[in-house]
Structure 1
Amino acid sequence: MTETTISPEMTMAEILERIPSAQRALFQRYHVGGCSSCGFQPTDTLAKVCADHNILDVPEVLAYLNRAGEIDSKMTVDPTEVKAWMDAGDTLRLIDVRPAEEIAKAALPGAEPLDYSNSQQYMDLPKDSRIVFACKSGARSLDVAAYFAGHGFTAVHSLKGGLDAWRSQIDSSIPDYAL
């Protein structure tokens, strides 16, 4: 894998342009950038973000961000693998992170909607619970999976390609819809 060149003097906007998964990686590893209390501005340099959050090993952060795409890849799971887990009776929670109006347009069989109003119910789950998050395309669910990984969950996944991939690989009867 070719490393993207980033430096501590670059702004977070520049880094996110070069490494789109950098924000997920920062939150997952350092609990930085996932909410307003731990956030940063696009104009902040990486050095400032590290200093503001008491991260002393800036070279380690640089190396970690350069591996962010690989980390995202390890968190995604193909629809065929999820279907195999379900067919085998493996214990997993399939959680749809889309808003109710999207779920109403096209439901993912076996998925429960994420209850954003009661997030504590998920945080109380055993940290090794196998959870697969899904959305329409796999982008929002990857953010949610990274959030849970950042809170110590060790078996969280994002459905690669989301509902669109599930429809094309597993169940073509699920309606397509535009966002």
Structure 2
Amino acid sequence: MSAVLEQFPGAQRALFRRYHIGGCSSCAFRPDETLAQVCARSGLDPAEVLAHLQSSHEEDAKVWIEPKELAEWRKQDPHLRLVDIRSREEFEAVHIEGSVLLSQDVMRQIMSDGSNTRPLVIIDHQGRQALDAAAYFTGHGLQNVRCLRGGIDAWAREVDPSMRRYRIA
């Protein structure tokens, strides 16, 4: 499944949402299992599941915003909401100016804002967790949620090379 998750980063969320696979200990899968093995264990047609993963991946792709596109958008809308979902330590070490660290208070503000169409851009480290956060917000009625493709790491490479980059071991 590690190869599937690499090709389709949102696969675990898509599998759980439609088939209740991979979201809890009773329906988990191992990284060394194949999609065919997981499907056989669950009585599913691998071709149908693969088609669902591809379709979900195409939907996920619509949520991504390129770093340079975000930089331009910020120039046009200086009040654009940038929400960083990394740890406090990561955020304090380096962040995009104007972004806020997601906390309970920030979450309450977003949810009680009164505007479900105001743009919200989610930032993570390398673009691996942002889609899950986007799914949460869209599931709660927000209609204009985007994710920074490649996270803050891509921003540092493509928009602001002076920004420090880091790796998490």
Give the TM-score taking structure 1 as reference length: 0.68
1:173 to 140, 162, 169: 162
In 1: Cα distance, 2:4 partner to 2:157 partner: 33
Q: Which amino acid aligns with 1:151?
A: H
SS in 2 for 1:127: coil
1:152 to 106, 126, 141: 141
Runs (4 or more) in structure 1 with deviation over 6 Å come to: 12-15, 32-36, 45-49, 59-62
Number of the residue aligned with 2:69: 81
Number of the residue aligned with 2:33: none
Consecutive unaligned residues of structure 1, counting only runs of 5 or more, are: 1-11, 50-58
What pairs with 1:22-61 in structure 2 (closer than 5 Å)?
22-25=11-14, 40-42=27-29
In 1: Cα distance, 2:50 partner to 2:65 partner: 26
Asked if 1:114 is matched to 2:102, the reply is yes
| Paired residue total | 160
1:162 to 144, 151, 155: 151
Number of the residue aligned with 1:95: 83
SS in 2 for 1:177: coil
CA change 1:18–1:153 in 2 (3 A) is same
User: Over the residues paired in the alignment, what is the CA RMSD in angstroms?
Assistant: 3.7
Q: Which amino acid aligns with 1:41?
A: A
SS in 1 for 2:28: coil
In 2: Cα distance, 1:124 partner to 1:33 partner: 32
CA deviations on 1:13-51 (whole Å, 9 max, x unpaired) are: 997587442233357x76x68987xx94338x77998xx
Give the TM-score taking structure 2 as reference length: 0.71
Asked if 1:142 is matched to 2:155, the reply is no
Percent identity of paired positions between Structure 1 and Structure 2: 36
CA change 1:174–1:142 in 2 (3 A) is same
In 2: Cα distance, 1:61 partner to 1:72 partner: 16
In 2: Cα distance, 1:159 partner to 1:108 partner: 11
CA change 1:66–1:169 in 2 (3 A) is closer
Q: Which amino acid aligns with 1:120?
A: R
CA change 1:86–1:14 in 2 (3 A) is closer
In 2: Cα distance, 1:61 partner to 1:123 partner: 33
In 1: Cα distance, 2:49 partner to 2:141 partner: 19
Q: Which amino acid aligns with 1:100?
A: R
